[in-house]
Structure formats: structure tokens, C-alpha cells
Amino acid sequence: AQRPYVIDEMISAKAIAARIEDLCREIHDEFDGTDKLIVVGLLRGSFVFIADLVRELDLPIEVDFLEASSYGDAMESSREVRILKDLRGAIEGRDVLVVEDIVDTGHTLHHVTNLLRSREPKRLKSIALLDKPTRREVDLKADWTGFEIPDEFVVGYGIDFAQRNRNLPFIGKVRFT
């Protein structure tokens, strides 16, 4: 059984929405004129972020998903990224934006961007809502980051703790009681 914990709000739904508006302006400038941008969400954590992001993005897009997992139900990264579900479509010669909820050790985004780059997209960019730079184990940074956060265990807005709390509308931090 899980140790008892409470969740303290860290980033409000309103602050997230405001930040997404800014990010979308920058993404729009980068991809302006694209014939079709393929927005790739990394399941499962990014499902809320990608839903809000694409609705704010005024560009011709296609949405695809790739499922990667390294934490399972643990609090610590396994450092072994498993691809559980691949993209449905080809990305060769296309503009691609990878959407991630959080970059922690960096292993997941590193593994996925290497995999997608090997398929020779025209342009490959990445965005993460959250970044925990102090935890990094591989040298990488998303092209856009929503918020840099300290080393706290966060949940909500798609992010789970042992598969729970993904449906919280805000980002919270776990505090054991």
C-alpha cells in the first residue's frame, strides 16, 4: 500500500493556461508556414498538456502519440526507456513537435528524440511543460519549457504518482504525512 500523502498546489491551472498562450506564440513563429505540423504526445503523461496546447495553436496540425515508459509505478527512473506504442504515421521529411509533460533525468526525451531523428524528419523540436534541471543525467534541454521547478515529486495535469492523480487540473507536489 502507498504511504499516506497530501498534495500541495504548486502551479495553478490559470498559470499553466497563461504560460501555454506564450509558448504557442513562440511555436507559431517557429513553424509559421508549415504545410502540416505533426504534434507527437508522449503517453501517458502528456495527454492533458497536448490537449490544451493544440487547441491554442493556430497552425495546420496532425496529432500522433508514442507511448514511452521508464518509471512504471516507482518514484525513481529505471533509466530504461521502453517504447510501448509507436507512432501511427511516418515523419520523414515532416515538421515534428514532441510534447512531454516533464523532463527529469532526461532519459525519456533523449531516447525518444534520438529515435525520431533517425527517421529523418525535416525539423524536430520538443516542448516540455516542466523541467527539473537539477536532476538531469543526460545533457539535453527541450526547445521550449513551461516552468523550471525544484526537485519535488509533482503530480497532476497528466502526471501520475503510481498511476494516480493524473486528472488534477493543476500541478501539485506530493508531501508525505
Taking CB under 6 A as the rule, does residue 70 contact ligand PRP?
A: yes
Residue 104, contacted partner among ligand PRP, Mg ion, Mn ion, none, CB below 5-8 A by kind: ligand PRP
32 and 58 Cβ atoms separated by less than 8 Å:
no
Residue 45 CB, shortest distance to Mn ion, in Å, is 3
Residues 105-144 that bind ligand PRP (CB under 6 A): 105-108
Residues at the site binding Mg ion, with contacts judged by CB under 5 A? 71, 160
Q: Quick check: is 29 catalytic? A: no
State the binding string over 30-59 for Mn ion (x if CB under 5 A, else -). ---------------x--------------
Residues 29-48 that bind ligand PRP (CB under 6 A): 42-45
Q: What is the DSSP string of the chain?
A: -PPPEEEEEEE-HHHHHHHHHHHHHHHHHHHTT-S-EEEEEEETTTHHHHHHHHHH--S-EEEEEEEEES-TT-SS--S--EEEE--SS--TTSEEEEEEEEESSSHHHHHHHHHHHTT--SEEEEEEEEE-GGG-SS----SEEEEE--S--EEBTTB-BTTB-TT-SSEEEEEE-
Candidate ranges 31-39, 57-65, 69-77, 90-98; the one touching ligand PRP (CB under 6 A):
69-77
- Answer for which of 98, 99, 103, 124 binds ligand PRP (CB under 6 A) is 103
The residues that touch Mn ion, with contacts defined as CB under 5 A, are: 45
Would you name the residues annotated as active-site residues? 104
